[in-house]
Chain A
Amino acid sequence: MSEDEILARDTAVHGAATSGEFTLEVLRCNPADPEDRPRWQSFTLELTEGMTLFIALTELRETQDPSLQFDFVCRAGICGSCAMLINGRPGLACRTLIADLPSPTRLAPLPGFALIGDLSVDTGRWMRGMSERLETWVHGLDTERDPARLEAPMEPEVAEAIYELERCIECGCCIAACGTAQMREDFVGAVGLNKLARFHLDPRDARDDGAYFDLVGDDDGVFGCMSLLGCDDVCPKDLPLGTQIAFLRRRMARQAL
């Protein structure tokens, strides 16, 4: 194989070759330091092939500023830790290629959650609170069936449909992109409503529409949604959030009558 062929195959595999300098502007703030005020800090780095924001931020921390705070866990787009505002739009940093971004690019922490520092926010506490309020687990007597017994059968299509909605990774992008969530602190958001839609679909869950109405039949629940559908636009897992909210709203409206 000639060098050109290798290069051609390489390019096909690893995306367009890129090089040169790239500027990242990071909104920095350390709430643990009462003197500290939010400020933009500019970093310049050498672009390498296949460089993601994960690789870039890790390199910045290693070579330029060891105090830079951000969260990555899986770095493969499946755990939801690294959601942040990338040029104002919520997204997962780990799977964002620098080559797809303009220079300079601005990074800011996700709004709607408590700031831990720089690009790190506390989505965990928010999500746990949502789970407790909406009781996001299967309710029913059969949850305690003897596990030595044959499992209860389920239609294959039903199981697949549940998984479609269960692919949510609780990254917080839908909350950051939501008009209602910015105004109404207790709004459960698309993440919460999608979760309830998932349990609504699940024949193992014994709750009826009345029980769901008690959980989301108000302005902090499904009636708070203004149908701006920012959630649907930014969901990294492409969940059908608009459809699910509309479905739930119809069921709950019927329940209210």
Chain B
Amino acid sequence: MDTVYTDVLVVGGGLAGLRAAIGARRRGLEVLTLSLVPAKRSHSAAAQGGMQASLGNTAKGRGDSEAIHFADTVRGSDWGADQLVARLFAETAPKAIRELAAWGVPWNRVRAGDHETVINGERVTINEDPLAHGLITARNFGGTAHWRASYVSDGTGHSMLYTMSDQAVAESIPVHERMEAMALICDGERCCGVIARNLINGTLVAYLARATCIATGGFGRIYRVSTNAIINEGMGAAIALETGRAVLGNMEAIQFHPTGIFPAGILVTEGCRGDGGLLLDADGHRFMPDYEPEKMELASRDVVSRRMEEHIRAGHGVRSRFGEHLWLDIRLLGAEHIRGRLREVQEICRYFLGIDPAESLIPVRPAQHYSMGGIRTDFRGEAVGLRGLFSCGEAACWDLHGFNRLGGNSVAETVVAGMLVGEYLADFCHSDDGALPGTTTLARDALRREEAQLRSYCTGEEQESPLRLQQEMQTLMTERVGIFRHGDTLKTAVEELQALLQRAQRLRLAGSRRGANPELVAAYRLPRMLKLALCVAEGALARTESRGAHYREDYPQRNDRDWLKRTLALWSPGADRPSLSYEDIDVMTMELVPGWRGYGARDYIDHPDTPRRTEDLKRISETGVQGDARQEQILPFRDQLPPSFRSPNERLFSGEESL
């Protein structure tokens, strides 16, 4: 048996995984990273428009603070977020952006003086303070009180990932490329590493580690129309689920991005609307102000996507042979702005649509974009139910985003979670629990199980193409577990997914090509993707309310009384469906009690604790206590940060913060 030992094993070479690896390495631990692809090709590179952090350097960002970033995030989440996590995150985001600035990311900078820009369809002039000249600038994104998304043109994720990846090279962190984690090695209580498959030659390797961290991103490819990369099949979350110990949280919380290019689903950034772009219908009418007078095109993504689909249903879509769509208009931003700040968008439009967005409208329709759910962890990133297993980034349900993530909060989360979880998992390795238990036999058994499973695809009963079954799943998910959901269609979706899972487990492959064998890869990933899809569909069926991106036509209200809780999905060994349980989200520890988000639907059913907690918070305010002392009484968090990240963030215009 080919066996590799290390202190920390990070599965996933994107921003979250690499930052966690760097953190653990700097704590003196031996670290090794596995990646499906060369690390710089991870899906983090696809983040275009920006990263949120409350630097407050710009005219439109002045007065911003961690508290406001926190509040925007919680409102965006429709109160599904863990508020302690949201606080830790908002506090660390400015440090994340500044660390990356020191490591080499060429963030766009503030230029002093007057600038023309487009706000609400009008050209306006903004004046930037000479004191801020050369500091990191920001653009507007949806669902935020201030302009807070720092950016590198519209290649933000690309620059961040390249800098992070080169930093990992600088710190001599090995990345074993084209290695796929197939199963967690686990004694029922503790995770001790993974069995991985070499995607070049097909061999299996056992990696044994004191701590294992899954940072494999989202699972958008269970949908047919998705902005996600081809590799985003959720295998990290799936192998955690298959332990029968770790649980997946809020899998039904799926984000649809308003501006996927129609029909290919390739993303164009929210920065298009942040910089002043508009959504138009078949008549060229700007329809968002009719639905959302407060935030218009810049309400949160769940709200904008829903309004777009609603508008198409009302007969205002643009008809085409591929179906209906709407238009994104960025012509008003001008050719120079597009060339400088939205050049990836321009390239994508040129190559995939044959148009120049400075002159033509872009056909768009909402497409699956982000998985808020994932491996349920505590605020340290440690998996619920399985010691020694950590997770961060999109793969995890940490839970920063609740039922809807704000634009610019995903790349921010990847780096921040990497920074924090890297420290916490190093703490774990240095603790009494951190020693690697005797596991050679365990590893050998796990490896044999995987070998047997792979061999079974040569002898299965049903000669079916795994790729065809995968397509069936994707179509079913897009059609029945999409933006608008209903009990009846969800029920049939669950039944069909179960039938597909049965077929997927009896597959026989057409060929037996040695080495990489893409058909075999598709075959063993298929049942794992189906299990994730079942967690999504069953979670959506069970949740009889609407919250954030989860919208039930038969239960259109948010219902805090019955559903202010997180869904947990467990897959017992041998079971043919997940079992769901729920974790209450405690109103009595909230800093921001549930209410109207400032956009979207205004009616909801209150939680009985909401008035009590509101009274508590009012009482604390009336005592006149301020600053840190006030925070200690409301939601203490600073002591939970790793010591190296506890200092308050310096801000140029400090003292102007308002809430």
Residues in chain A within 8 A of chain B (CB atoms): 1, 6-7, 9-10, 12-15, 30-33, 49-50, 52, 61-62, 66-69, 71-81, 95, 97, 116-117, 120, 122-125, 127-128, 131-132, 135-138, 142-156, 158-160, 162-163, 166-167, 169-170, 202, 204-205
Contacts and interface: CB of A to CB of B under 8 A. Distances in A.
A162 B108 CA distance: 10
B231 A73 contact: yes
B102 A66 contact: no
Given A32-B516, A124-B38, A78 B46 contact: yes
A151 B98 contact: yes
A169 B158 contact: yes
Contacts of B102: 138, 142-145, 147, 151-152, 204
Given A128-B175, A160-B340, A163-B153, A147 B95 contact: yes
B407 to A, nearest CB: 18
Closest 9 A/B residue pairs (Cβ): A32-B515, A153-B134, A124-B38, A66-B519, A147-B95, A148-B647, A162-B106, A95-B351, A156-B109
Interface stretch (B73-81, B162-170, B426-434, B539-547): B162-170
B159 A166 contact: yes
24 contacts: A1-B319, A13-B353, A14-B322, A30-B513, A32-B513, A50-B264, A62-B467, A66-B467, A66-B511, A71-B37, A74-B41, A76-B267, A131-B169, A145-B102, A147-B102, A148-B647, A150-B651, A150-B652, A156-B109, A160-B153, A163-B152, A166-B152, A169-B40, A170-B40
A205 to B, nearest CB: 8
A132 B169 contact: yes
B106 A123 contact: no
B180 to A, nearest CB: 14
Q: Chain A interface mostly helix, strand, loop or mixed? A: loop
Given A76-B266, A151-B135, A15 B347 contact: no
B46 A127 contact: no
B655 to A, nearest CB: 14
B441 interface: no
Contacts, number: 232
Given A154-B134, A204-B104, A14 B353 contact: yes
A66 B465 contact: yes
B243 to A, nearest CB: 27
Contact of B169 (A33, A61, A137): A137
A137 B170 contact: yes
Interface string B29-60: 00000000111110101100000000100000
A117 B515 contact: yes
Interface of B: 37-41, 43, 45-46, 55, 94-99, 101-104, 106-111, 133-137, 152-153, 155, 158-159, 162-163, 166-167, 169-170, 175, 177-178, 200-202, 229-231, 263-264, 266-267, 282, 318-322, 340, 344, 347-348, 351-355, 360, 363, 465, 467-468, 471, 509-511, 513-519, 522, 645, 647-652
B648 A148 contact: yes
Nearest to B172: A132
A149 B155 contact: no
A136 B169 contact: yes
Nearest to A201: B106
Contacts of A145: 98, 102
Given A123-B38, A147-B96, A149-B98, A74 B45 contact: yes
B106 A156 contact: no
A144 B99 CA distance: 8
B106 A76 contact: no
A123 B177 CA distance: 11
Contact of A137 (B167, B201, B351, B465): B167
Nearest to A166: B159
A151 B45 contact: no
A163 to B, nearest CB: 5
Contacts of B155: 78, 163, 166-167
Interface centre among B40, B344, B511 (most CB of A within 10 A): B40
Nearest to A95: B351
Contact of A30 (B158, B263, B514): B514
Interface centre among B37, B513, B519, B651 (most CB of A within 10 A): B513
B134 A137 contact: no
A231 B567 CA distance: 52
A124 B174 CA distance: 12
Nearest to B232: A73
A77 B351 contact: yes
Given A6-B319, A14-B353, A138-B103, A125 B516 contact: no
Contacts of A131: 166, 169
Nearest to A237: B347
B608 to A, nearest CB: 41
B354 A15 contact: yes
Nearest to B262: A13
Contacts of B110: 156
A33 B513 contact: yes
B518 A69 contact: yes
Contacts of A33: 513-515
A202 B104 contact: yes
Given A62-B471, A74-B229, A159-B106, A6 B320 contact: yes
Contacts of A81: 37, 41
Contacts of B200: 32, 116, 122
Contact of A151 (B136, B162, B320, B352): B136
A9 to B, nearest CB: 7
A136 B229 CA distance: 26
Contacts of B519: 66-67
B95 A148 contact: yes
Contacts of B282: 1
Given A62-B467, A79-B229, A13 B45 contact: no
Contacts of B108: 156, 159-160, 163
